[in-house]
Structure 1
């Protein structure tokens, strides 16, 4: 017999508090997650009141939300609109492109198999080399870097595509010599420690509210995004056999699927743009749901 929802809400509130305590949230970053997970696949506009209500569930105050929104407008990530007494905010075109790129990594994940060696001319090294390193490339010398995917900018560099001819162990040794994977492994382990209890809670046949499902899913996406976007995302063959990122992605996909039906119901019931409620399901949300495992 299912346990009453109040039991789930009490235990879920404790888990949410623990996750937020271990990984404190910044208002602007969490608002970006709301746009990426809820708003972007349903258009690009939402009422500021929805942002305030959702952020309140994770301890972010009305004042912090309004300040963060103002800063996101100043940085040209959001654009404000008014309809009557209500304020709405939509994504800028540039932010929309960034969100699409991040969504590809989170929801349309594919393993990289090829490698690219990039030679940067002296004239451009001061800007491009740090950008490549932030994108997960490792520096081999003052002008040559290596990484598992082509750089996505148009500056003049030489790119050499390479197929791996060495065996599994040699490739792992190569990767270990040029990438410090320990911080990334620790970040994945922390993610697993935070969200494995959520899966255990859902398995206990407790009945969560739709709002709680959305809040947990937002935290899930927020934390996984922060880990995976910093990861150099090397091909599986280059990673240790016990790489925790494999298990972390599987957990992310399982939980995203378990939480989404109820979470999307809450979105459709409460989130609005200038024309009315946001839809529960769109082609984009269906594509995401279909991409996260069987």
Structure 2
């Protein structure tokens, strides 16, 4: 696992529930369980600080790191999409974003493309992105964050006259490919789930093993956020593999969550000047934290 991506997983899965600020020594120990060296951890932290994703606070001779507002938004968006259940009903509206950047802002244009892809938008023509989900608030927050009001237009429409909904979906997303990726996820995870369940029944699971397996599970599942737009179910094909993958993800996650959180708590250290409210229940079962998504 790449250090930066692993760090996002750790913040979203655990650290956010314990005040959101962690001693760098704890990060080194936590990431060391995945074979990430101390130098790699420090290098990833340095790059994330440079990109305004992490911020540091010094207390004595110790450094404590928390996510910036930009980092928090990325983590919260990811957590919402991982742990919410898709609604059945589509409200019938398409959200449409168009943009036009001058050539000297090409790098910013590429960043916005990645943000839109991450949020679940699909591109249907040059500089035109759409989504059937009510993401207006998130998109406006993105526009404010990057200060791109002069380069973007956000609209909503009940229909797109030149194309029906099925054609729009085919233009913007490759659902067959995404479904195939989900099938591979299910194929790989099913024997691991059976193995973990057998160990749990025989009281053979260790806290360390559960922490590693839960973190790897979420890390792998998060990759679908870059592919799956998270459509309302009435826009998805019948027997959508994403629903089966989600059920298996949930079962595996809950099987190993309690010992995984115990392992995390043993290594986690927060700043001494903060009375951290340890929200173990949400760390153990984040599925209860968020209700209906769209």
TM-score range, shorter chain: 0.7 to 0.9
Distance in 1 between the 2:97 and 2:288 partners?
38
Displacement of 1:81: 2.6
Displacement of 1:159: 2.1
Distance in 2 between the 1:197 and 1:50 partners?
32
Aligned length: 264
Superposed counterparts of 1:132-281, under 5 Å: 132=116, 135-142=119-126, 145-149=129-133, 150-151=135-136, 152-153=139-140, 155=149, 157=153, 159-162=155-158, 175-176=169-170, 178-204=172-198, 205-206=201-202, 207-275=204-272, 281=279
Name which structure has the greater RCO, CA cutoff 8 Å, separation 6+.
2
Distance in 2 between the 1:194 and 1:38 partners?
25
Q: Deviations over 1:151-172 (max 9, x none)?
A: 42254535234389xxxxx866
Q: 1:265 to 1:219 in 2, by over 3 A?
A: same
**In structure 2, the residue corresponding to 1:109 is in which secondary structure?**
coil
Q: Deviations over 1:32-69 (max 9, x none)?
A: 11111110121111122222222222221121111111
Structure 2 residue 96 is the aligned partner of structure 1 residue 118: yes
Displacement of 1:245: 0.9
Note the aligned Cα RMSD (angstroms).
Answer: 3.3
Distance in 1 between the 2:26 and 2:214 partners?
16
Distance in 2 between the 1:196 and 1:280 partners?
32
Q: TM-score, normalised by structure 1?
A: 0.75
Q: 1:34 to 1:116 in 2, by over 3 A?
A: same
Query: Which residue matches 2:29?
Result: 53
Check the 8 A contact 1:41/1:282 in 2, yes or no. Answer: yes
Q: 1:119 to 1:101 in 2, by over 3 A?
A: closer
Q: 1:123 to 1:60 in 2, by over 3 A?
A: closer
Superposed counterparts of 1:22-171, under 5 Å: 25-111=1-87, 113-114=90-91, 115-118=93-96, 120=98, 127=109, 130=113, 132=116, 135-142=119-126, 145-149=129-133, 150-151=135-136, 152-153=139-140, 155=149, 157=153, 159-162=155-158
Q: TM-score, normalised by structure 2?
A: 0.75
Distance in 1 between the 2:59 and 2:99 partners?
51
Q: 1:192 to 1:174 in 2, by over 3 A?
A: same
